[in-house]
Amino acid sequence: MSSTYGKLFKISTFGESHGQAVGVVVDGCPAGIPFDAEFIQSELDRRKPGQSRITTQRREADEFQVVSGVFEGKTTGTPIAMLVWNGDQRSKDYSHIAQQFRPSHADFTYQAKYGVRDYRGGGRSSARETVARVAAGALAKLVLKNIGIDIKAYVSQVGKLKLEKSYQELNLALAEENAVRCPEPALAQEMFDYIDETRKKGDSIGGIVDCVVTGTPVGLGEPVFDKLHAELGKAMLSINAVKGFEYGSGFAGVEMYGSEHNDEFFIEDEQVKTKSNHSGGIQGGISNGADIYFRTAFKPVATIMQDQASVDQEGNIVTVSGKGRHDPCVVPRAVPIVEAMAALVLVDFYLRNRATQGLAYEQEEKLEF
């Protein structure tokens, strides 16, 4: 089972939902980066459970510990290990499905692939694993901050309730002022009420998280298999419950003529820019300096508080009863996870660019000599 992501800024996550702890080892973080523990904790607080009545009521402080890689407030260039202890597991809530396969969960596929599974909260397949991603992503954000890259995500849709405005028309800072993390206050309240009603019915609902990256330099990404948008798509689709990804004009672009869709170039302040941004800041798999924007769709949470038909490991027809503490809608807590994964993609490509440019510079120096 691979639990490692990245090429130069590489992370390896570990831990299960009902194990002792979850954590991450970050390898390849540059030395000398100010390690802002308060910021990293604030990112974990945005993801942690129990934030409101429309999230899981599992109570976890999610306070992280640094085990290695930091000295006198700065990264040392060695592997950085961060650990978060689990404190509010209720494993007995899952004893009834020890032999049963819950609909739309990873129970059957894990059992078929490995011959064994941790049924307590889904084990490794639980979204609890994303604690480690957010911790690593917060560190990646600290690196990106030094080069002026900023990442902001927000909830744009819950069920059929949609935010019709583009990100340019919104004050994205307002997203953090409500429990849903939608930057339109009136719609955010509608979404909150809708999620709450869904929760009371013992059901769940899906939604969409939009993300905007500003300050990206030209040149991040590779032109063939490691295209920037392909890597962003892989990163987002690796998040629990994600069912779709689109960037720039996305699927709506198929309704446009090429003459409408093409982003025409012009010169401003001696820089090449585009009049429109249907490309979503990425052309040929490489960032072009414009805002990168994409959308990530999350399915309704698979665990619902209603009886469902299924089978067990012996092939018997069974009724699966929903128990435990679960989010009726994942998107409010998914916002920092989307940001974290975007940060991990961008910092890795930034370091790959820096390594390539450094090599080119050294070769140039040798030629001149």
Q: Is 336 annotated in some ligand binding site?
A: no
Question: In whole angstroms, how far apart are CA 159 and each of 119, 156, 190, 204, 297?
Answer: 29, 10, 11, 10, 11
Question: Using the 8-state DSSP alphabet, how is residue 224 labeled?
Answer: S
Is residue 57 within 8 Å of residue 49, measured between CB atoms? yes
Torsion of CA 101, 107, 110, 112, to 10 degrees: 10
Is residue 211 within 8 Å of residue 296, measured between CB atoms? yes
Is residue 321 helix, strand or coil?
A: coil
Strands 292-298 and 242-247: antiparallel
Measured distance CA(126)–CA(15) in Å, rounded: 10
Q: Is 53 annotated in some ligand binding site?
A: yes
Residue 306: phi and psi, rounded to 5, are -135, 155
Q: Is 126 annotated in some ligand binding site?
A: yes
Measured distance CA(358)–CA(80) in Å, rounded: 24
Q: Is 124 annotated in some ligand binding site?
A: yes
Q: Is 299 annotated in some ligand binding site?
A: yes
Q: Is 340 annotated in some ligand binding site?
A: no
Q: Is 37 annotated in some ligand binding site?
A: no
Q: Is 223 annotated in some ligand binding site?
A: no
DSSP string, 258-278: HHHH---EEEETTEEEES--T
Q: Is 302 annotated in some ligand binding site?
A: yes
DSSP string, 273-308: EES--TTTTEETTEE-SSPEEEEEEEPPPS--SS-E
Enclosing H/E stretch for 135: helix 130-145
Q: Is 303 annotated in some ligand binding site?
A: yes
Task: Give the annotated binding-site residues.
Answer: 47, 53, 124-126, 240-241, 284, 299-303, 325
Task: Give the annotated binding-site residues for NADP(+).
Answer: 47, 53
Task: Give the annotated binding-site residues for FMN.
Answer: 124-126, 240-241, 284, 299-303, 325
